[in-house]
Amino acid sequence: MTQPIRTERRGAVLEVTLDRPKANAIDAATSRIMGEVFAGFRDDPELRVAILTAAGERFFCPGWDLKAAAAGEAPDSDYGVGGFGGLQELPGLNKPVICAINGLAFGGGFEIALSCDILIAAEHATFALPEINSGTVADAASIKLPRRIPYHVAMELLLTGRRIDAQEAQRWGLVNEIVPADRLMERARTLAQQLAEGPPLVFAAIKEVIRETSHLPVQQAFDMVTKRRLPTVDKLYGSEDQKEGARAFAEKRKPVWRGR
């Protein structure tokens, strides 16, 4: 049986490709594999950046496999260590993940994209939350979307299932860049390489600070950071990399980051 997830290591970059014909829909088994892949990425010190994309030209991911649902798979199935799609609930993922959206991103596919850090879309990419038409709730989007875009826009998308194109998604700040489809992976790889050459401990601290303080009052959030109550921040402040950054600046050279 063909594996629904393909991976390729390119130096410090891991490319993860969802490849589940015909539409790249995700069932529980696929989700568990994705969780294992991204947990492995998280835990591998040699890997610094991941790119998530999908096979084909029409579909990125339409979300939950409704054929599996019709066959009895429940919405609260065991989706594995990272929750649906392997990313949404994966603890401690402190490395950058780029999403290269090569087509239709509906439902859970849209939600998986929202779980990534930087979104690059092909010109023909489209987005929607059509869960209302199948009698279920876009749970992750209901949590995340009103925090990312204006409340009334988020509610419209959730309540109507309306499709938006890549240009509208970018207008609302949901997409960083739009590129021609034949340049999508080239652009994602260029950006991934740029990040892979960056300071991994700083990236880890940025992700943890955002994740652990976004719900806190500002002063409490400052205290978490300045008093080194977050493990990634504490590790950064006492690291060789922080000393290297200061030395490189003083010596007017490019720093060599070692992640320690």
Q: Which residue numbers are catalytic?
A: 111, 131
What is the DSSP code (8-state) at residue 128?
Answer: E
> Strands across the sheet with 177-179, in order?
5-10, 13-18, 49-54, 97-101, 118-122, 177-179
Report d(CA 160, CA 17) in Å as an integer: 30
Report d(CA 167, CA 178) in Å as an integer: 8
Helix pair 200-213, 240-251: axis angle to 10 deg: 120
Report d(CA 102, CA 44) in Å as an integer: 27
Asked if residue 64 lies in contact with residue 94, where contact means CB atoms within 8 angstroms, the answer is no
The separation between CA 217 and the C-alpha centre of its own chain, rounded to angstroms, equals 25
